[in-house]
A and B are shown apart, each in its own frame.
Chain A
Amino acid sequence: MASSEPEALSEEARLICAILAEQVAALCEGIAASAVFNKLTACGDILASLASQLEVGSAASRAAAQLDKAMDDLGFQHAQQQDFAHQTAELVAGALKTLATGEWRKLSLGGLAALYVSESQRRLHDIVLAERTGRRNMTTPDL
Chain B
Amino acid sequence: MATILVLDDSSTMVMSLARILKKAGYEVETATRGQEGLNKLGAGLKPAAIITDLNMPEMDGISFIKAARKLPSCRFTPIIVLTTESGLSKSGEARAAGATGWLTKPTEPDTLIATLKQLAPAA
Contact = CB atoms under 8 A, between A and B. Distances in A.
Given A80-B105, A84-B105, A34 B86 contact: no
A72 B15 contact: no
A60 interface: no
B55 A117 contact: yes
B109 A76 contact: yes
Interface in A88-143: 117-119, 122, 140-143
B84 A34 contact: no
Given A84-B105, A86-B10, A117-B55, A76 B16 contact: yes
Nearest to A71: B19
Contacts of B44: none
Given A79-B10, A81-B106, A119-B87, A87 B16 contact: no
Contacts, number: 73
Nearest to A88: B84
A73 B19 CA distance: 10
A79 B15 contact: yes
Nearest to A83: B10
Contact of A34 (B11, B17, B85): B11
B88 interface: yes
A82 B12 contact: yes
B118 interface: no
A89 B106 CA distance: 17
Interface string B54-90: 1100000000000000000000000000011111110
Nearest to B16: A79
A61 interface: no
Interface in B99-123: 105-109
Contacts of B2: none
A80 B13 contact: yes
Given A75-B16, A80-B105, 6 more contacts: A32-B10, A37-B15, A77-B106, A78-B12, A87-B55, A117-B54
22 contacts: A32-B10, A34-B12, A37-B15, A37-B16, A44-B19, A72-B16, A75-B16, A75-B19, A79-B15, A79-B16, A79-B17, A80-B106, A80-B107, A82-B12, A82-B13, A83-B12, A117-B54, A118-B85, A122-B87, A141-B89, A142-B87, A142-B88
